[in-house]
Amino acid sequence: MSLGENKEIIRRLNNVYNTQNWDLIDDLISPDYVDHSNKIQGPDALKTLMKMGKSAFPDWHENIEDIIAEGDKVWVFLTYTATHTGEWLGVAPTGKKITATCVDIHRIVNGKVTEYWNVTYNLDFFKSLGLIENTDEGEKFFKKFVLEDVK
């Protein structure tokens, strides 16, 4: 497959969250798919994971900011937004809106995604939900750190 075709596969996969067209997963994900970040395997496990996320964050929306293809891999920098209105990993709904960024890496073989890695900037995600807060000491440190870094 061409690099452009590989990018299109990933655009379609990222849009599954936006459209909730779960059947697309069967078309885009290999039966031997491995998600190295979430420690799951196969298209059915991916559907379950995505539905769990959509249940806790029904308005979850992903926007691809940049996409790069090289060889059999596609790298995606994306921003996602969502509102926490359902239970998520034991955390009661907060009603808070989140915005976060991540980098996804997909390996494609014969037109299907076979492997996946994810790097998410979780600090913003957890802060948005109110699960972590800066301490006074931390605020002082980072203000000093940033100011000294600019000089």
Q: What is the pLDDT of residues 25-62, one digit of tens each?
A: 999 999 999 999 999 999 999 999 999 999 999 999 99
Closest CA to 83 of 102, 100, 92, 96: 96
pTM metric for this prediction? 0.85
Tell me which CATH code domain 3-150 carries. Answer: 3.10.450.50
Q: What parts of the chain have a pLDDT lower than 50?
A: none
pLDDT score of 89: 85
Q: What's the confidence (pLDDT) of residue 62? A: 92
pLDDT of residue 43: 97
Distance CA 107, CA 3 (A): 12
